[in-house]
Amino acid sequence: MPFNSIVFCFLFLPLTILLYFLVPKKLKNLYLLLISILFYSYSGLFNTIILLFMVFYNYISVRKMDRLGKRRKYKLIEILIINLFVLCYFKYYYLLLSNLFQNVSFKEILLPLGMSFYIFTIVSYVLDVYHRKIESEKNFLSFSLYVLFFPKLIMGPIVRYQDFKKQQSQEFQPSLFHSGCKRFVLGLSMKVILADTFSKILASYEPASMLGSILILFLYSFQIYYDFAGYTNMALGLSNLFGFSFEENFDYPYLSKSVGEFFRRWHITLGKWFRDYVYIPLGGSRVSKPRLIMNLLIVWLLTGMWHGATFNFILWGLFLGMIIAFEKLLFSKIHGFRIIRTILTFFIISISWVFFFHSDINDITSILKNLINTHQLTDLSSLFLIQNNGIYLIIGLIGITPFVKNIGKRFQKGSNLLYHIFTSFFLLILLCLSTAYLISYSYQTFLYFNF
Amino acid sequence: MKKKTHFFGWLTLIFLLTIFFMNFFSPDIKFSKEENRTMAQKPKMDAQGVWNGSYGSNYDAYMEDQFWNRSFWKRMKTKFEKTIGLKKIDNIYFGNDGRLIEEAVIPSEEFMKRRVENLKKFDTDYSKLNVQFLLIPNKIGIYYDEVGSKNLQEELYQKFTSNFREDLFKINPFEILKEHKKEKIFYDTDHHYTTLAARYLSESFYDKKDVTYEEYTVNDHFVGTSANKIAYYEHADTVSLYVPKEEISYYVTYDGEEKEYTTIYDDQKQYSNNPYEIFFGGNHGKIEIQTNAEKENKLLLIKDSYANSFLPFILSEYREIIVIDPRYYYENIDEVIKDKQITDILLLYNMNTFFEDTSFDDMVENIKE
């Protein structure tokens, strides 16, 4: 059940909160687990059974592994193979077959919702137990809730077990509850007012000039940011409602001064996952230069493949891997030129989104060709787009900076009460508008649901 | 101090719960007049649906369609976007004086190729008959300047018509409608042209100058498809009829049924949600009209809904008129032409429908020798 669906916002969520207040403290975790299973079952019981099987299997196997002495390595390999096999089967098998044998038709295998995220969550737990960073969880309920907790189940953030464990069975925290609601509403409006509007604009827009291609880059950058950061705000806000607070997943990434920095501020939890479980075990950056390049390319190839197995994601990953290797080797000592570096980074990242959005090489080249099309600087439909949707583009541009947040902070110093009244009023308007947009656009899925 | 200033959580919860209860207690509707479609109903829970998740997606669709005060929310979005300065929502532009202008449909090259081939074939197959084509622009073809664009529809018209013999297009509707640009030739809130525009075109097409008409107002609070599409209800249109003073008599049958009518107007539709349906009660696959006009010609009119308000002006020109709407008529049209000994064929379409709907191609490809 997506957070931006009417069923979730106006049926599941209010009832879940209401009942949460009524459930006795001791049963709250069990309640959250059952609600999470119900939440997930909405996308089909078949997927739920796979998910529950994975939880059950990993719980038992990791307990077993923890008790083994020298042979724990073999158990680890078994667990990793099973988890990655399940993920690869659902993610790549159909794609591989249908590409290899193009004349034969196969029954399509759909990736169960959130599988890329929950398998990565589980793998982080398995490896942390193996490296004795944490002890394996004895309590099956606690472990299941860690994997299944609905606010983060489908699209992250990918939470480490130690961060989750310490927050279970906490008291209801009013201030966390209120700020969680604010965050949820903010996230919802980012998704339905901005991301969906950008997606709608893109759907009926074919750029035919240099200006058009530049606009496309902005629209892609905005759409993907408001889609995923909006979702993450909803997820973190929802976690707050039930007394959990997790690590941030975004930190104004578009203000980064290098591509490397961008990915330390974009989808932070996935970046850390690859850093801790792939990059560092490969030797990290304390290796020879050729090895470093190799390590970076491996990590980025895998990051690309995590998003999808089509060639465009692989190209996307390799493109970024190369740029980051380049930065590390040549530009690591450059300081200053901050604004130019930020603009350049934005430009490179937005070009990388072209690979993200298109699996047809012709579409990609046509957009990139137009970027250097000096014969056709503008076209009527691009000019109209600016004229008509300029306001959305301006809001989009302001929203990728901490501008509004900073104003709020300054305001808060003046009068706390006034600040709360003002923000609550503003967010209530956003909530009404989000409802209006939700009803007007029929449901638009999240981009990261596919990954 | 801090606790007192936190209250947004309660506001959110109250908001969500209020809508939950209103959704729960408001009765489900079957058909939405505003959106002109049947609305999703509560899905039945079955094992397969729960297993593969289709029950969930059906339930989503149901809640979306039956949302409490659906039109209020849609209106809110449109009002907000208009306030922040949008000039186009979905595919509808805000023109001057409340005119809602639908975007021009530009067909793909593939579509265009198929259409040109089929129309050429049709024209050659029936070269012994008097075949004419009246391809009528939409609002965007006349008021393009109000949306700050060049006239894409007129360019399309020139490009398309240049493929055929010149006299297939006896008159150029762009010229005629542009002359009357300052009059009410299109409904502001609907995608149709007005009866007045149909009258001007018919007068030009049949070279009639001295007919006098009596004007009747059918409905002065007509809110059409364009307004409903974006839930923009700022003003309404007036639907009028022009009845020639010297009327001829005729009878009409619909879709091969036996019942004969002595009028083409359907009074019941006068105060309905779509008073444009006062002409023939809306679209039909096949309409047959026998007149007592002192003419020998028998017309086959192949058309979309733009013909409905055009037809009243041409009844006196033919002995018999067979009206076919290929969107709702699937039989071999050649049989009609031979059986009825048709002498004239008129194709009448508005450009947006003609370049979007493929039933014309299906019809021509379905003609068996």
- Are both A364 and A271 inside the same structural domain? yes
Asked, for residue A1, whether it belongs to a domain, the answer is no
Residue B53: closest CA among chain A residues belongs to which residue? A44
For B134, B308, B330, B335, the CA distances from B360, given in Å and listed in that order, are 14, 17, 10, 16
- Are both B160 and B44 inside the same structural domain? no
| b/e B261-273 (16+ beta carbons within 10 angstroms → b) | beebbbeebeebe
Tell how far CA A338 is from the center of its chain: 27
Average pLDDT over residues B290-297: 92
Give the H/E segment covering residue B159. Answer: helix B152-161
Q: Do B6 and A42 count as a contact with CB atoms less than 8 A apart?
A: no
- Are both A146 and A199 inside the same structural domain? no
Q: What is the pLDDT of residue B368?
A: 65
Report yes or no: A297 and A285 within 8 Å, Cβ to Cβ: no
Token code pair at residue A245:
């607070």
Asked, for residue B85, whether it belongs to a domain, the answer is no
Q: What is the pLDDT of residue B324?
A: 95
Asked, for residue A233, whether it belongs to a domain, the answer is yes
Kindly write down the DSSP assignment for every residue of B79-106, as one continuous string.
Answer: HHHHHTT-SEETTEEE-GGG-EEEPPP-
Contacts for A432 with CB less than 8 Å, ≥ 6 apart: B15, B76
How do B88-89 and B92-94 pair as beta strands? antiparallel
| pLDDT tens, residue by residue, A28-75 | 999 999 999 999 999 889 999 999 999 999 999 999 998 887 888 999
Residue B163, classed as helix, strand or coil, is: coil
Asked, for residue B84, whether it belongs to a domain, the answer is no
A417 CB neighbours in chain B (<8 A) are 4-5
Token code pair at residue B173:
């509707």
Best mutation target, B57, B65, B77, B103, to test chain A (most A CBs within 10 A): B77
Tell me whether B76 touches chain A (CB under 8 Å). yes
Token code pair at residue A343:
């603009």
Q: Secondary structure of chain A: what % helix, strand, coil (to 5)?
A: 75, 0, 25
- Are both A159 and A185 inside the same structural domain? no
- Are both B63 and B153 inside the same structural domain? no
- Are both B169 and B64 inside the same structural domain? no
- Are both A216 and A263 inside the same structural domain? yes
Last residue of a domain, one of A113, A137, A169: A169
Amino acid residing at B224: G
Residue A205 binned pLDDT confidence (cut-offs 50, 70, 90) = confident
The dihedral through the CA atoms of A240, A242, A245, A248 has a sign that is: negative
Report yes or no: B99 and B185 within 8 Å, Cβ to Cβ: no
Task: Point out the residue among A7, A47, A179 whose CB comes nearest to the CB of B63.
Answer: A7
Q: Do B85 and A423 count as a contact with CB atoms less than 8 A apart?
A: no
- The distance in angstroms from the start CA to the end CA of chain B is 89
Q: Do B9 and A181 count as a contact with CB atoms less than 8 A apart?
A: yes
State what percent of residues in chain A have pLDDT above 70: 97
- Are both A355 and A380 inside the same structural domain? yes
Asked if pLDDT for residue A451 goes beyond 70, the answer is no
Report yes or no: B152 and B182 within 8 Å, Cβ to Cβ: no
**CA gap B220, B213 in Å, rounded:** 19
Q: Which of A95-99, A190-194, A280-284, B251-255 is predicted with the least confidence, judged by mean pLDDT? A: A95-99
Contacts for A189 with CB less than 8 Å, ≥ 6 apart: A230, A430, A431, A433, A434
The dihedral through the CA atoms of A340, A344, A347, A350 has a sign that is: negative
Asked, for residue B106, whether it belongs to a domain, the answer is yes
Asked, for residue B91, whether it belongs to a domain, the answer is no
Between A83 and A111, whose confidence is greater?
Answer: A83
Please state the domain count of chain B.
Answer: 2
Residue A376 binned pLDDT confidence (cut-offs 50, 70, 90) = confident
Picking from A18, A29, A21, the residue whose alpha carbon sits closest to that of residue A172 is A21
| b/e A189-218 (16+ beta carbons within 10 angstroms → b) | bbbbbbbbbbbbbbeebebbbbbbbbbbbe
A439 CB neighbours in chain B (<8 A) are 64, 67, 70, 73-74, 77
Average pLDDT over residues B104-129: 95
- Are both B240 and B356 inside the same structural domain? yes
Task: Point out the residue among A14, A43, A180 whose CB comes nearest to the CB of B20.
Answer: A14
- Are both B111 and B200 inside the same structural domain? yes
Asked if pLDDT for residue A252 goes beyond 90, the answer is yes
Q: Do B13 and A185 count as a contact with CB atoms less than 8 A apart?
A: no
Asked if pLDDT for residue B3 goes beyond 60, the answer is no
- Are both B112 and B172 inside the same structural domain? yes
For A244, B264, B265, B346, the CA distances from B256, given in Å and listed in that order, are 69, 16, 18, 21
- Are both A360 and A258 inside the same structural domain? yes
Picking from A151, A153, A93, the residue whose alpha carbon sits closest to that of residue A119 is A153
A42 CB neighbours in chain B (<8 A) are 53, 56
Asked, for residue B82, whether it belongs to a domain, the answer is no
Token code pair at residue B19:
């809508």
A340 burial type by CB count under 10 A (0-12 exposed, 13-18 middle, 19+ buried): exposed
Please state the domain count of chain A.
Answer: 2
**CA gap B150, A381 in Å, rounded:** 10
What pTM does this model have? 0.88
Tell me whether B25 touches chain A (CB under 8 Å). no
- Are both B294 and B333 inside the same structural domain? yes
Min Cα separation B81/chain A (Å): 10
Q: Is the peptide bond before A157 cis (omega within 30 degrees of 0)?
A: yes
- Are both A161 and A299 inside the same structural domain? no
ipTM topping 0.85: yes
* Token pair 């480490």 in the structure block, residue: A160
- Are both A136 and A190 inside the same structural domain? no
Residue B286, classed as helix, strand or coil, is: strand
- Are both B27 and B129 inside the same structural domain? no
Asked, for residue A60, whether it belongs to a domain, the answer is yes
Report yes or no: A279 and A325 within 8 Å, Cβ to Cβ: no
Residue A376, classed as helix, strand or coil, is: coil
Contacts for B198 with CB less than 8 Å, ≥ 6 apart: B306, B309, B310, B313
- Are both B43 and B114 inside the same structural domain? no
- Are both B118 and B221 inside the same structural domain? yes
Asked, for residue B190, whether it belongs to a domain, the answer is yes
Asked if pLDDT for residue A203 goes beyond 70, the answer is yes
Q: How many CB pairs under 8 A join A and B?
A: 135
Asked, for residue A32, whether it belongs to a domain, the answer is yes
Min Cα separation B239/chain A (Å): 29
Catalytic residue numbers of A, as ranges: 307
- Are both A201 and A103 inside the same structural domain? no
State what percent of residues in chain A have pLDDT above 90: 66
Report yes or no: A158 and A120 within 8 Å, Cβ to Cβ: yes
Q: Residue A328 sits in which domain range?
A: 176-450
Last residue of a domain, one of A153, A169, A185: A169
**CA gap B355, B113 in Å, rounded:** 11
Residues 224-263 of B with CB under 8 A from A: 231
How do B100-102 and B92-94 pair as beta strands? antiparallel
Kindly write down the DSSP assignment for every residue of A272-286, as one continuous string.
Answer: HHHIIIIITTTTTTS
Q: Enter the DSSP assignment of A149.
A: -
Contacts for B273 with CB less than 8 Å, ≥ 6 apart: B33, B34, B36, B223
Average pLDDT over residues B169-198: 96
- Are both B64 and B108 inside the same structural domain? no
Token code pair at residue B248:
């001829």
**CA gap A111, A87 in Å, rounded:** 8
Asked, for residue B125, whether it belongs to a domain, the answer is yes
Average pLDDT over residues A299-322: 90
Report yes or no: A190 and A363 within 8 Å, Cβ to Cβ: no
- Are both B190 and B238 inside the same structural domain? yes
Last residue of a domain, one of A138, A169, A200: A169
B84 CB neighbours in chain A (<8 A) are 391
Average pLDDT over residues A172-191: 92
Residues 165-204 of B with CB under 8 A from A: none
- Spell out where chain B has E strands: 31-32, 37-38, 88-89, 92-94, 100-102, 130-136, 213-222, 237-244, 250-254, 286-291, 298-303, 320-324, 344-350
For residue A362, the tally of other CB atoms under 10 A from its CB is 8
- Are both A114 and A258 inside the same structural domain? no
A47 CB neighbours in chain B (<8 A) are 53
**CA gap A388, A380 in Å, rounded:** 12
* Token pair 């700050």 in the structure block, residue: B148
- Are both A156 and A211 inside the same structural domain? no
Q: What is the pLDDT of residue A102?
A: 76
Token code pair at residue A176:
């966390």
Asked if pLDDT for residue A329 goes beyond 60, the answer is yes
For residue A357, the tally of other CB atoms under 10 A from its CB is 18
- Spell out where A313-408 has E strands: none
Q: Do B77 and A174 count as a contact with CB atoms less than 8 A apart?
A: no
Task: Point out the residue among A43, A182, A443 whose CB comes nearest to the CB of B8.
Answer: A182
A159 burial type by CB count under 10 A (0-12 exposed, 13-18 middle, 19+ buried): buried
A426 burial type by CB count under 10 A (0-12 exposed, 13-18 middle, 19+ buried): middle
Asked if pLDDT for residue B1 goes beyond 60, the answer is no
Contacts for B132 with CB less than 8 Å, ≥ 6 apart: B168, B169, B170, B205, B344, B345, B346, B347
Asked, for residue A397, whether it belongs to a domain, the answer is yes
Tell me whether B63 touches chain A (CB under 8 Å). yes
Residue B49: closest CA among chain A residues belongs to which residue? A44
Best mutation target, A1, A40, A178, A198, to test chain B (most B CBs within 10 A): A178
- Are both A224 and A350 inside the same structural domain? yes
A13 CB neighbours in chain B (<8 A) are 16
- Spell out where A290-405 has E strands: none
Residues 201-230 of B with CB under 8 A from A: none
Q: Do A443 and B150 count as a contact with CB atoms less than 8 A apart?
A: no
Average pLDDT of chain A to the nearest whole number? 90
| pLDDT tens, residue by residue, B320-343 | 999 999 999 999 999 999 999 999
Laid out side by side, the sheet with B92-94 consists of B88-89, B92-94, B100-102
| pLDDT tens, residue by residue, A352-363 | 999 988 888 888
Residue B2 binned pLDDT confidence (cut-offs 50, 70, 90) = very low
B23 CB neighbours in chain A (<8 A) are 10-11
Q: Residue B215 sits in which domain range?
A: 97-365
Average pLDDT over residues B42-64: 88
Q: Which of A63-67, A416-420, B234-238, B287-291 is predicted with the least confidence, judged by mean pLDDT? A: A416-420
**CA gap B55, A44 in Å, rounded:** 8
Q: Do B87 and A427 count as a contact with CB atoms less than 8 A apart?
A: no
Report yes or no: B336 and B299 within 8 Å, Cβ to Cβ: no
